[in-house]
Amino acid sequence: MAWLNAPVNIDAVGRVPRHLPVARIAIPGLYSGQRAVDTETHRSLDNARTAARQLECEAEHASDALLNLVFSGK
């Protein structure tokens, strides 16, 4: 996921960067058609993120199963 560094004041000493996901940044002044595209893009990114997490979990299970087969001698 892409991240945007946004400086934030946490005290009088200095600034510390805060990471904001690009998908959560609101863009003012968009027309309704542009907002619809933006909304669909957000939805697609969320779906892709969910699918990637599921694929990662399945790959981990497959890796564990392969290791079990190797160490069991079958």
In tens, the pLDDT along 30-74 reads 677 887 888 899 999 999 999 999 999 999 999 999 999 988 876
Question: What's the Cα-to-Cα distance from 12 to each of 8, 9, 42, 68, 69, rounded to whole Å?
Answer: 11, 7, 36, 55, 58
Separation between Cα atoms, residue 41 and residue 46, nearest integer Å: 9
pLDDT, residue 31, reads 78
pLDDT, residue 20, reads 56
The answer, yes or no, to whether residue 16 has pLDDT greater than 80, is no
pLDDT, residue 61, reads 94
